[in-house]
């Protein structure tokens, strides 16, 4: 099982990918946004080229767990992903609260310059989102709840 993790922003989409065993996530790339449908098609092409079976989309919930404006924008992108499917890919929503903060801390600890951090932050945030979901899936034995909130 191979999965993609997405950190969907207004200007970019951070993308991470799992290893073929579905155990570890790695930052893959940052995609510059060009519109819902073109972005959804680009994600599906990437998924097909890497034989991905699941796409984990980070949902930016508010601190109290409610969905705000950013969550609604991500849900609109998820609808575009669902409508652009050419082959069956499972789309999972995962709580992404604090993923960007964790990515920023990791990049600071790696002593990257501000410019390099800015270039990699979204893909590293996607890595945190995907790794959280992979750990959850592994912990439950692959049964039960398939997505976050």
Q: Over the stretch 101-127, which tens digit does the pLDDT of each residue have?
A: 665 666 556 655 666 556 666 888 899
* Domain assignment of residue 128, yes or no: yes
Question: Per the structure, how many domains does the chain have?
Answer: 1
Q: At what angle do helices 69-83 and 36-49 cross, to 10 degrees?
A: 60
Q: Over the stretch 33-46, which tens digit does the pLDDT of each residue have?
A: 999 999 999 999 99
Q: Over the stretch 73-108, which tens digit does the pLDDT of each residue have?
A: 999 999 999 998 877 899 999 988 666 666 566 655
* Domain assignment of residue 101, yes or no: yes
Phi, psi of 95 (to 5 degrees): -60, 120
Which DSSP state fits 112?
A: -
What pTM does this model have?
A: 0.81
* Domain assignment of residue 117, yes or no: yes
What is the CATH classification number for the domain harbouring 118?
3.30.420.140
* Domain assignment of residue 63, yes or no: yes
| C-alpha to C-alpha distance for 20 and 129, rounded to whole angstroms | 17
Residue 128 domain boundaries: 3-139
């Amino acid at each position: 099982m191979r999965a993609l993790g997405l950190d969907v922003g207004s200007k970019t989409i951070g993308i991470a990918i799992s290893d073929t065993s579905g155990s570890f996530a790695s930052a893959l790339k940052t995609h510059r946004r060009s519109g819902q449908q073109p972005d959804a098609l680009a994600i599906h092409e990437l998924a097909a080229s890497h034989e991905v079976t699941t796409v984990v989309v980070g949902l930016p919930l508010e601190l109290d767990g409610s969905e705000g404006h950013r969550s609604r924008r991500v849900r609109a992108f998820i609808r575009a992903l669902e409508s652009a499917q050419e082959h069956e890919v499972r789309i999972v929503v995962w709580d992404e609260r604090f993923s960007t903060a964790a990515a920023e801390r990791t990049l600071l600890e790696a002593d990257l310059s501000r410019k390099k951090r800015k270039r990699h932050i979204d893909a590293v945030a996607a890595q945190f989102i995907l790794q959280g979901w992979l750990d959850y899936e592994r912990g439950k034995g692959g049964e039960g709840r398939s997505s976050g909130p």
